Amino acid sequence: MLDEQARFINEVYIPDVLLFGTGPLFPLAKMGLGGGHYNYLSYGAFEKDQSGKDLVFPAGVIMDLNPANIKIDPFDPDKITESVKYGWYKENKPVHPYNGEQVFNLDKKEAYSFVKAPRYDGKPLEVGPLARMLVAKNPTLLDLVGKGVKPGVVARHATRAIETKLVVDACYKWCDELLDAMTKPGFKIHDTEHWDPPESGMGAGFYDAHRGALGHWIKIKNKKIENYQCVVPSTWNASPRCEKGIRGQYEESLIGAPVPDPENPINVVRIIRSFDPCLACAIHIIDPGTNEIRKFIVE
């Protein structure tokens, strides 16, 4: 089954994506359609060894991307905050996820989203395949950049294909390691021993899921969950504005996008879909002339 996946990725998926990206879609690639904010975050994922230091997808942060000289900063979880200025939540200043809350206010005048606005050091970041491959300084991506491809829709699809190959290649090593481990006494897929929670405590977990950076935060009090917060990939990318009026990544990526036919705004849909949003059918476009609501499925 793994061989079948590898053949498809190497012989069909990647060649097709690169063919379209450097062919009929190359004008969109060169203009960087859907670029948005050029800030990127990867929590890292897929350990190559027991130490957990060597990763298939390394962790890091890029601020104000300079493709000619990509600077990677280490990830600092203390720099994350969430704003609810334009969300349907009770007014509150930006807080760290440990202190987040969900107290709704559906009559809030400036609100327009149920999505909070996560920020890193006060700035919006993009998460997902493009962020991961930029943080990794992937040579295939850098080669495309050298040919004129700018961060945006086409680059996101290219990096999604590139990282799929990285994962399937790593799977061969993992399968060999699993086969070897299964032959040894005491082998366990997971630890089923009972765990006693502490009387009180705090903890967080960070991982890069398919759509991007995924973080969970928990507070424990009296051996029970006092507060549990998640900042998921689509929250990073789909965030509304924050206190500073700075748009989220989806919003910023749409600015300046050409829409030749308002009845079929293909570039709008093309840009949002490139993020692989986890918002199901909650995307709507309102015609300002008629107030007609058009719903686009972006699964």
- pLDDT tens for 220-243 read 999 999 999 999 999 999 999 999
Q: What pLDDT does residue 297 have?
A: 42
Paired tokens of 160: 């999604």
Q: What pLDDT does residue 299 have?
A: 37
Q: What pLDDT does residue 190 have?
A: 81
Domain count, the chain: 1
Q: What pLDDT does residue 133 have?
A: 97
Mean pLDDT across the chain, nearest whole number? 92
Q: What pLDDT does residue 284 have?
A: 58
**CA–CA separation, 150 vs 118, rounded Å?**
25
Torsion, Cα of 77, 83, 84, 90 (10° steps):
80
**CA–CA separation, 81 vs 122, rounded Å?**
8
Supply the range of the domain harboring residue 14.
2-295
Torsion, Cα of 272, 26, 142, 146 (10° steps):
-140
212-221 and 224-231 strand pairing: antiparallel
**Residues lower than pLDDT 70 in the chain:** 280-286, 291-299
Q: What pLDDT does residue 120 have?
A: 98
Torsion, Cα of 154, 155, 157, 162 (10° steps):
140
DSSP per residue over 131-189, as a string? HHHHHTT-HHHHHHHHTTPPSSHHHHHHHHHHHHHHHHHHHHHHHHHHHHHHTSTT--S
Q: What pLDDT does residue 283 have?
A: 56
**CA–CA separation, 287 vs 276, rounded Å?**
24
Q: What pLDDT does residue 296 have?
A: 47
CATH number at residue 172: 1.10.645.10
**CA–CA separation, 13 vs 220, rounded Å?**
45
Secondary structure letter of residue 40 according to DSSP: E
